[in-house]
Structure 1
Amino acid sequence: MASSTFWLTAVLAVSTVSTTASPLLSTKAATGALDINLDLQGVNPAVKPLFLPGSPNSAATTNTTSRCKVYPEDSAWPSDEAWAQLNELTEGRVITAPTPLAAVCYPGKDYDAAQCAKYTIAAWQKSYIHMIDPIEMMSPVAQGLTCSPPTLYDSHGCTRGGFPMYVVNATEPKHVQLAVNFARNTGVRLVVKNTGHDFLGKSGGKDALSIWTHWMKDIEYIEEYVDEKLGYRGPAFKSGVGVQAFEIYKAAHEKGRVVVGGEGETVGVMGGYIQGGGHSPLTGLYGTGADSVLAFEVVTADGEFVVANSTSHTDLFWALRGGGGSTFGVATSVTVKAHPDLEVTASRFSFSSAQTGNETFWAAIRSYVDSWIANADAGTYTYWTLVPTNGTFAFGFSPFFAPGKSVEEATALLQPWFNRLNDLGVKFDPNITHFDNYYDAWRSSFPLEAVQKPNVATASRLFPRANFETAEKRQELYEHIRSSSEKNRVQVHFNMQAKDPANNDNAVNSHWRPLVSFSMQSVRWPINSTAVEILKIRKDFQDIDMQSWRDISPGAGGYLAEADRLEPDFGNAFWGDKYPKLLELKKKLDPQDLFFAATGVGSERWRVESVDGLPNENGKLCRV
């Protein structure tokens, strides 16, 4: 992370940390919510109904009962005057047809050879330039690959594809309310974007209106937050939904605290991450990100700005904690528990079959599987990888991360496997390092998350304890891991448990709770494959590779934020026994399906009719 220190310092300057020990703000005047009588005063009566909350007007009713959302070629598409009024009401925050970053690489008014030359593969796949862009998605496959740098994928031109047509750069609740009302009352598609991190492309949509929440960056520290119903009395942070991991971790560190957030430094942890559950290096101690939520401030589908917590809008509060982003409302702030800072011991190392020989390498991997239950039960978090390259295989601890553990305690957990590696003759340097605080350990340990490659699809499985309780089951899982590697599937695994905190009832996937390994594998296709070839490869990947993982873990599921849009029975996979209740709440809280996200709750009622037939955002959103 040393190379990104200057960048992070610069971006952190946009955040503010208050030390005021105050309760969660709830008054509309204090939080910048829409005042109909004041904010809509003087608006042209012809377009004023488009910005009103509540039930849609008669014109909108016609639009929302049509088969598809409203698009520019439709007669119901809002007039230029309507869009101009939205811009005026949001204080000039509407961005019209934002230019894709890679447009500089193709002939036209945006062509800039010098700028295009900067988009090397290494530069493009870092998340820094994408996270501050109003439309860029870090999943080019889901975008539709219509405007990529030729160094990455020659799209033979630059078209908008799955990018939105209009963006509201929202910095306060009323901006969100106006966009929500406008989308509901016109029938245009609505999407929500923070940083653009999502394997499934949920932050984009062809010709949509996008609410961009990235610059909601305020952070407030609350010394004592009391919620008797949740049984919590202690410190908390109230953060805008644009706050990213590196920002909230630094703010917490300065107060001698930690919060539950992701391992990826640029992920917007207060947005889709926390609403989708969110695993963390602290999950073994405190549960998922959603388990730490105390309250949301949120704009609902009818355009109201509300506080959802244990006593107010409780159904919404339950659903937002794990039910998925862009589904039940648009959060503007989240209040989360803060925990005492703690020591951390980490280990990073790697070895490969090129060094050890093939069978020794796989014997080492097999012996590692035996330690997973003990490591999970100890509250540790291991991010490890298996990468096949031209017939060889590489293993990486990236890292083994033990919060609350001394060097002696962490070493004791690792030593049985280290002994086996030594017996096998595997050469490795465990690089065991102790940190006296979480922030320094996190900064030093985890890799920067990369923008998805243009020829990759990834799927996941939450392997429960049942897959590890006997030698026979561990052997079975190992054989499937090896088989996937031998089929050239890159794998990423997280060995951990998802602690279920006391007095905790929310929408987090029930499949997280018996977890021992959150495991992912990826399939690749030749870069110039046709749509027909890509779809066959992706379907075979689900029907064969992922089905083999499902077959050995009956009743388990996957993680909705790191998954494949082709995941079968996604409702059960991503929410388990919570899905029936979530479907009922979706009908109650968003009866018109204003909010849609690929594989989100209720999304089975809709389909993106992409222009190439692939699972991406390059097409109209229509009812099934």
Structure 2
Amino acid sequence: MMTKIWTRLVFTAPALALLSSSLLEAATAFSDLNIDAAVEKVLGKNELFDFETLQLTDDVLANLKDAGFGDEALSLFSPKSKPVKRQVVAKPPCKIYPGDATWPSGAIWRLFNVLLGGALIRTVPEASLCYPEWQIEHPTSIRSILFQGMTCMPPNYTAGFLGNTVNCSIGGFPEHSVNVSTIAQIQLAVNIARELNIRLVIKNTAHDFGAKSAGKGGLNLWTHYLKDYKFYSNYQTDTYSGPAFKLAAGVQVFEANEWAKQHNVTLHLLTLFPSVGFIGGYIQGGGHSPLTSIYGMAADHVLSIQLGVVTSMVVKVFPQLNITTMTYNVTTGGNFTHDKFWAMQRAYVDEFERLADLGYYSYYRIRHLGGEITHDVTSMVAPNTSEAGFRAALAPLFQKWADIGVPFQPVIRESDNYSDAWLAAFPHEGVFDEGANIILFNMRNPPGSELTDNAVNPAWRKMLMFAIMFVTWNVTDSTQHVTRLLRNLTYEWNPRWKTLTPTSGTYMPESDYIEPNWQESFHGSKYPRLLEIKKRWDPESVSYATNTVGSEEWMLGDTIMGHLPSQNSKLCRK
């Protein structure tokens, strides 16, 4: 069997334009991705899911001729092991877009759809009355709709501050999506995007706060329906021997949690939003969770990754844990004044190091509520801890709060497994005086985690608090008001945090869309090595997403409200 995964396929716009209807008929044979004449079944070192075995290999070229492709058609393809000398030309300044002279014709897209086995989807805006869809089940819809341009919103949510109307347009969504079911389809899409200079986009679920799954005129790889999983009771590598899960790219957190419970193990799962793709932006962005204080980051436990466009990962799992959780909320009012509220916060922060050293984790928010302040702990999580032990550990803090006069009525629960505790403790599916709201996490990375050789920012190995600022507004608010809030967040308030914590960093999946010096903030000292890897494996910059490695060589041609890069604009080299 072949062990080669990637084959370089060369598509040129003039050559594709010459394809005849007879070639379209021949391509029908190729579209059946279950026949050996079109796709090689590949076995790698690690066991592959069935969909991962269907790959294009060097032998495919010979088989294509048997499927009806002539010599002219085969000239469109070039295997990596037999590279064709390509004329050296200047790199195109911008990606191509609908309306450009070089944009593929409808016939070319139809051929591409045949080659994909009918998996190509033409984008229809999510709010179109004819196509009601839920964001996660939609091939292009995302949560970061502001950066997409909010071009197709229900009438009551049309953003007046953007000057939008109720008319729908595609805006910053990709033009076409591939509903991925085989690696061969990914290979075809990557190659056609590179050779025709089309922006390539990857989307799993809709949880994308940084607009990394958007892109005007793009070709989108939609991996949402890759749902395979396998449990290994004893997975072996050179450095690990123990239980593990192999999870496909479309597996969501709630699904992974259910499987972990079925197998009596614990997975390193994030807190809110159970519909997040587990091995997508969560792990690839580092991955913090209620288990970070005892196990480190989720990325620390990846045992293998399949492909450059990730189709699956193998990750470690841990024994079942006894877990105690606590939730509560307090709001100022009456005798509980703002001064008492901030005294409560000081007492809490003073306990951060001790609680993190115990292996505890907390997720809480501080928000405006009219003229009052509300503080709610979504959950404090104490792994390997009984309720009695937890109450004893928190007794000193509880006493301080009683002395201050905090109206405090916690809900404390003990569970014999993390899966049930996770479901019960988090309400799944959420500077201060100047208008910001704050989300805070108290956790640490355990000793020794800094020795892990991955792309996690070294700042995470020394942290006790991860804090997020956010602002909110109404769709009826003025452009001036919304612009002021957004500019304050980036240019006024965030620098104050950085002044207080000069050696810190941040978390890419929950960061400022225009994070200044994002290379340092996201990756710290790891960035130069990451950039070298990027240039080595993607020298033509086929893979791009906002604020990702190598993206500093590109810029979007338009802005929202004068300073936010708009995904509804052309992507060009600087």
TM-score of the alignment, normalized to the shorter chain, above 0.5: yes
- Deviation string 1:386-441 (CA, Å, 9 cap, x unpaired) is 01122210000100011221112222332221111111122221111101111100
1:224-243 matched pairs, under 5 angstroms: 224-228=234-238, 231-243=239-251
**1:27 to 1:254, Cα distance in 2 relative to 1, 3 A:** closer
Is 1:85 equivalent to 2:64 in the alignment?
no
Q: Secondary structure of the residue that 2:467 maps to in structure 1?
A: strand
Q: Report deviation, 1:617.
A: 1.1
Bigger radius of gyration among the two: 2
Q: Report deviation, 1:50.
A: 5.9
CA contact (8 A) 2:450 2:458 kept: no
Is 1:251 equivalent to 2:247 in the alignment?
no
Separation in 2 of the partners of 1:284 and 1:221?
Answer: 25
User: Please, which of 512, 528, 536 is the counterpart of residue 588 of structure 1?
Assistant: 536
CA contact (8 A) 1:383 1:398 kept: yes
Q: Report deviation, 1:28.
A: 9.7
CA contact (8 A) 2:51 2:181 kept: no
Query: Which structure ranks higher in relative contact order (CA pairs < 8 Å, sequence separation ≥ 6)?
Result: 1
1:127-142 matched pairs, under 5 angstroms: 129-142=134-147
Q: Report deviation, 1:23.
A: 7.3
Match of 2:8 in 1: none
Is 1:31 equivalent to 2:59 in the alignment?
no
- Deviation string 1:522-544 (CA, Å, 9 cap, x unpaired) is 13456346667645542332221
**1:411 to 1:384, Cα distance in 2 relative to 1, 3 A:** same
Separation in 1 of the partners of 2:70 and 2:282?
Answer: 39
User: Please, which of 511, 518, 541 is the counterpart of residue 489 of structure 2?
Assistant: 541
Separation in 2 of the partners of 1:145 and 1:57?
Answer: 44
Q: Secondary structure of the residue that 1:260 maps to in structure 2?
A: coil
Is 1:485 equivalent to 2:432 in the alignment?
yes
Q: Secondary structure of the residue that 1:551 maps to in structure 2?
A: helix
Separation in 2 of the partners of 1:555 and 1:248?
Answer: 35
User: Please, which of 514, 521, 531 is the counterpart of residue 573 of structure 1?
Assistant: 521
Match of 1:120 in 2: none
Separation in 2 of the partners of 1:137 and 1:623?
Answer: 25
Is 1:405 equivalent to 2:385 in the alignment?
yes
- Deviation string 1:426-465 (CA, Å, 9 cap, x unpaired) is 2221111101111100011112236xxxxxxxxxxxxxxx
Q: Report the TM-score, using the length of structure 1 for normalisation.
A: 0.78
Match of 2:23 in 1: none
Is 1:287 equivalent to 2:296 in the alignment?
yes
Q: Report deviation, 1:196.
A: 1.9
Q: Report deviation, 1:151.
A: 2.7
CA contact (8 A) 2:469 2:489 kept: no
Separation in 2 of the partners of 1:587 and 1:529?
Answer: 43
**Percent identity over the alignment?**
37
Q: Report deviation, 1:152.
A: 2.6
CA contact (8 A) 1:60 1:185 kept: no
Is 1:332 equivalent to 2:311 in the alignment?
yes
Q: Secondary structure of the residue that 2:230 maps to in structure 1?
A: strand
Is 1:601 equivalent to 2:545 in the alignment?
no
Match of 1:147 in 2: 152
Q: Report deviation, 1:583.
A: 1.0
CA contact (8 A) 2:450 2:461 kept: no
Separation in 2 of the partners of 1:357 and 1:532?
Answer: 32
Q: Report deviation, 1:30.
A: 6.6
Q: Report deviation, 1:510.
A: 1.2
Runs of 5+ unmatched residues, structure 2: 1-43
Runs of 5+ unmatched residues, structure 1: 1-21, 105-109, 116-127, 299-328, 451-483
Separation in 2 of the partners of 1:210 and 1:61?
Answer: 28
Is 1:345 equivalent to 2:316 in the alignment?
no
CA contact (8 A) 2:157 2:475 kept: no
| Paired amino acid for 1:260 | H
Instruction: Point out 4+ residue stretches in structure 1 off by more than 4 angstroms.
Output: 26-30, 43-62, 528-536
Separation in 1 of the partners of 2:451 and 2:366?
Answer: 38
User: Please, which of 107, 126, 129 is the counterpart of residue 101 of structure 1?
Assistant: 126
Separation in 1 of the partners of 2:419 and 2:322?
Answer: 10
Match of 2:24 in 1: none
**1:373 to 1:27, Cα distance in 2 relative to 1, 3 A:** closer
User: Please, which of 174, 185, 188 is the counterpart of residue 198 of structure 2?
Assistant: 188
Q: Report deviation, 1:33.
A: 1.5
Q: Secondary structure of the residue that 1:151 maps to in structure 2?
A: helix
Separation in 2 of the partners of 1:538 and 1:213?
Answer: 32
Separation in 2 of the partners of 1:350 and 1:564?
Answer: 27
Match of 1:164 in 2: 174
Q: Secondary structure of the residue that 1:349 maps to in structure 2?
A: strand
Separation in 2 of the partners of 1:521 and 1:39?
Answer: 55
Separation in 1 of the partners of 2:489 and 2:195?
Answer: 41
Separation in 1 of the partners of 2:428 and 2:155?
Answer: 23
Match of 2:29 in 1: none
Structure 1, 508-517 or 612-621: larger mean CA deviation: 612-621
1:475-554 matched pairs, under 5 angstroms: 484-499=431-446, 500-501=448-449, 504-525=452-473, 527-528=475-476, 534-554=482-502
Separation in 1 of the partners of 2:437 and 2:179?
Answer: 37
**1:510 to 1:33, Cα distance in 2 relative to 1, 3 A:** same
Q: Report deviation, 1:275.
A: 1.1
Match of 2:414 in 1: 434
**1:60 to 1:294, Cα distance in 2 relative to 1, 3 A:** farther
User: Please, which of 562, 578, 581 is the counterpart of residue 510 of structure 2?
Assistant: 562
